[in-house]
């Protein structure tokens, strides 16, 4: 499906629905994280409280965190306050201290050294830094999946056009994690330089076995890049332990940060391999134009340059704090409880085919399904009429609907999806 068609479909429906009125749920809003009630992931009241920390309207169920996450007031307040503070004096507010603080929190979240993290504007920017920074030349082969998001397709295709790299594809198997490792292994040749795969696919939300793939890549002296747009902020993991060479994510999906924020992880040993190509102020650790000398910054900061928005970065830091206040294990517990109910419920409905993996350890909080009798765009329209904001998945010819469940979603919303799926077709 073309992007424009998608937006027309969704916003056509929205124009009819009123976006007014935040209802009484905002009565539970507490603007400071210090005065929150006890965190109890097994208590629906607690999750109602969490929901009330977001300006999200009750008028429609927002089920597209995989596309864009909603930010809580805590994040919005942090962005606004920083913007107000800086605009009063018209300063950038650039501060390596603030950057360090945010990267330290991000390092805790992602399981890596803060010095291995660069700020980016989105997941795609990080992908571009890796793709264009690696020393890849004509005839070098990379392996990726048939289920890539446009953001992890176009940069490699541009490299194919410009430099003549070769792209080899495998279709992810949702049946078995090992089958994916085997499919990758079958594609490896002497010319393979890189494996580029998502942590969780944008199509079915399948969590790929990164650790096993990383072991395979290492044993063959191949780099491993992971597109993490769909996993940071959904569940806890440790990048050092996963063993990939680089990982790119965004702040504006599951992390619930401001739009146009992202994080790129580059393993320390890879900093001199992945060349910094877009550079300027902050990329260096000393330079002399007259002498023709330049030292790159010793950390992943070398990939950053020029004037940036401090309010957005501070907002990203606030988003990480917000999730850490709940606890990533609790976040995942909630996301998984909702998505598991959805997965099980959908599987009971005649003509509905769930494409997301049946294996719990490979299933994320993205559940994708189709209807044997109803084309997916018509199905999406039907769900729109229940005020359900979903995402159509055309990547890889999947042609299905994707539902994301995150901490602000409720079991009532999941039941509404099931009811809409049930009424999509009458024999």
Ligand X SMILES: Cc1ncc(COP(=O)(O)O)c(C=O)c1O
* DSSP label of 29: -
230 contributes a contact to ligand X by CB under 6 A: yes
Please report how close the Cβ of residue 248 comes to ligand X at its closest, in angstroms: 8
172 contributes a contact to ligand X by CB under 6 A: no
Count how many Cα atoms sit within 13 Å of the Cα of residue 283 in the half-sphere of its side chain.
16
Total number of residues binding ligand X (CB under 6 A)? 14
Which of these segments, 51-59, 206-214, 223-231, 275-283, binds ligand X (CB under 6 A)?
Answer: 223-231
Selected from 72, 133, 151, 315, the binder of ligand X by CB under 6 A is 151
Closer Cβ to ligand X, 70 or 349, answer by number? 70
Q: Which two tokens stand for residue 354?
A: 């769930």
Question: Scanning residues 259 to 288, which ones bind ligand X (CB under 6 A)?
Answer: 262
Which of these segments, 122-130, 187-195, 308-316, 344-352, binds ligand X (CB under 6 A)?
Answer: 122-130
206 contributes a contact to ligand X by CB under 6 A: no
Selected from 123, 129, 143, 398, the binder of ligand X by CB under 6 A is 123
Q: Could you tell me the sign of the dihedral formed by the alpha carbons of 14, 259, 401, 57, in that order?
A: negative
Residues whose CB is less than 8 angstroms from the CB of residue 330 and which lie 6 or more positions away in sequence, other chains included: 39, 41
Q: Cα separation of 367 and 344, whole Å?
A: 10
Closer Cβ to ligand X, 72 or 198, answer by number? 198
Please report how close the Cβ of residue 401 comes to ligand X at its closest, in angstroms: 15
* Biggest CA-to-CA distance, the chain: 79
Please report how close the Cβ of residue 395 comes to ligand X at its closest, in angstroms: 9
Spell out a b/e string for 375-388, using b for 16 or more CB atoms within 10 Å of the CB, else e. Answer: ebbebbbbbbebbb
Closer Cβ to ligand X, 49 or 265, answer by number? 265
Backbone angles phi and psi of 17, in degrees to 5: -75, 140
Closer Cβ to ligand X, 57 or 124, answer by number? 124
Q: Which stretches of 69-164 are DSSP H helices?
A: 73-89, 96-110, 123-133, 154-163
Closer Cβ to ligand X, 258 or 317, answer by number? 258
198 contributes a contact to ligand X by CB under 6 A: yes
Give yes or no for a contact between 77 and 31, defined as CB atoms under 8 angstroms apart: yes
Selected from 79, 129, 216, 229, the binder of ligand X by CB under 6 A is 229
Please report how close the Cβ of residue 3 comes to ligand X at its closest, in angstroms: 11
Spell out a b/e string for 302-334, using b for 16 or more CB atoms within 10 Å of the CB, else e. Answer: bbbeeebbbbbbbbbbbbbebbeebebebbbbb
Shortest CA distance to 311 belongs to which of 118, 124, 127, 98? Answer: 98
Please report how close the Cβ of residue 228 comes to ligand X at its closest, in angstroms: 8
Closer Cβ to ligand X, 202 or 384, answer by number? 202
Selected from 250, 403, 421, 424, the binder of ligand X by CB under 6 A is 250
122 contributes a contact to ligand X by CB under 6 A: yes
Q: Cα separation of 388 and 382, whole Å?
A: 9
Strands 117-120, 262-266: parallel, antiparallel or unpaired by DSSP? Answer: antiparallel
Neighbours of 406 (CB within 10 A): 24
* DSSP label of 395: G
402 contributes a contact to ligand X by CB under 6 A: no
Please report how close the Cβ of residue 121 comes to ligand X at its closest, in angstroms: 8
Closer Cβ to ligand X, 67 or 396, answer by number? 67
Query: Counting every residue, how long is the chain?
Result: 427
Closer Cβ to ligand X, 196 or 409, answer by number? 196
Which of these segments, 225-233, 237-245, 371-379, 409-417, binds ligand X (CB under 6 A)?
Answer: 225-233
Shortest CA distance to 255 belongs to which of 153, 122, 56? Answer: 122
Selected from 53, 132, 145, 202, the binder of ligand X by CB under 6 A is 202
Shortest CA distance to 102 belongs to which of 403, 339, 310, 373? Answer: 310
Which of these segments, 147-155, 187-195, 283-291, 331-339, binds ligand X (CB under 6 A)?
Answer: 147-155
Which of these segments, 54-62, 94-102, 121-129, 291-299, binds ligand X (CB under 6 A)?
Answer: 121-129
Which of these segments, 21-29, 118-126, 134-142, 299-307, binds ligand X (CB under 6 A)?
Answer: 118-126
227 contributes a contact to ligand X by CB under 6 A: yes
Q: Cα separation of 181 and 216, whole Å?
A: 8
Q: Cα separation of 407 and 332, whole Å?
A: 9
Rule CB under 6 A: which residues touch ligand X? 67, 122-124, 149, 151-152, 198, 202, 227, 229-230, 250, 262
């Amino acid at each position: 499906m073309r992007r424009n068609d998608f937006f027309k479909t969704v916003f056509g429906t929205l124009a009819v629905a009123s976006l007014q009125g935040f209802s009484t749920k905002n009565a539970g809003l507490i603007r400071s994280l210090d005065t929150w009630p006890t965190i109890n992931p097994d208590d629906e009241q607690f999750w109602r409280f969490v929901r009330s920390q977001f300006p999200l309207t009750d008028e429609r169920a927002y089920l597209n965190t995989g596309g864009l996450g909603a930010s809580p007031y805590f994040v919005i307040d942090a962005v606004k306050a920083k913007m107000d503070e800086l605009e009063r004096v018209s300063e950038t507010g650039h501060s390596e201290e603030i950057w360090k603080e945010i990267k330290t929190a991000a390092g805790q979240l992602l399981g890596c050294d803060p010095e291995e993290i660069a700020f980016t504007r989105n997941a795609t920017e990080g992908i571009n830094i890796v793709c264009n920074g690696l020393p890849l030349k004509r005839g070098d082969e990379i392996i990726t999946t048939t289920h890539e998001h446009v953001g992890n397709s176009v940069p490699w295709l541009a490299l194919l056009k410009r430099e003549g790299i070769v792209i080899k594809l495998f279709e992810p198997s949702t049946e078995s994690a090992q089958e994916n490792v085997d499919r990758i292994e079958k594609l490896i040749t002497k010319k393979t330089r890189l494996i580029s795969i998502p942590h969780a696919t944008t199509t079915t939300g399948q969590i790929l076995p990164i650790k096993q793939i990383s072991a395979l890549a290492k044993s063959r002296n191949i780099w491993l890049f992971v597109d993490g747009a769909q996993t940071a902020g959904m569940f806890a993991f440790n990048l050092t332990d996963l063993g990939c060479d680089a990982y790119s994510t965004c702040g504006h999906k599951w992390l619930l940060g401001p739009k146009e924020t992202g994080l790129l992880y580059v393993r320390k040993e890879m900093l001199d391999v992945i060349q910094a190509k877009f550079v300027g102020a902050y990329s260096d650790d000393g330079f002399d134009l007259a002498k023709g000398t330049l030292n790159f910054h010793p950390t992943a900061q070398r990939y950053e340059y020029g004037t940036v928005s401090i309010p957005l970065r501070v907002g990203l830091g606030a988003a990480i704090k917000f999730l850490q206040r709940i606890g990533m294990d609790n976040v995942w517990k909630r996301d998984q409880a909702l998505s598991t109910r959805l997965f099980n419920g959908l599987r009971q409905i005649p003509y509905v085919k769930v494409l997301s993996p049946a294996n719990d350890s490979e299933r994320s909080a993205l559940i994708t399904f189709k209807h044997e009798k109803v084309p997916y765009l018509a199905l999406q329209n039907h769900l729109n009429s229940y005020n359900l904001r979903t995402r159509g998945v055309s990547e890889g010819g999947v042609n299905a609907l994707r539902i994301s469940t995150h901490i602000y979603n409720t079991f009532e919303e999941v039941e509404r999806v099931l009811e809409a799926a049930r009424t999509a077709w009458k024999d």
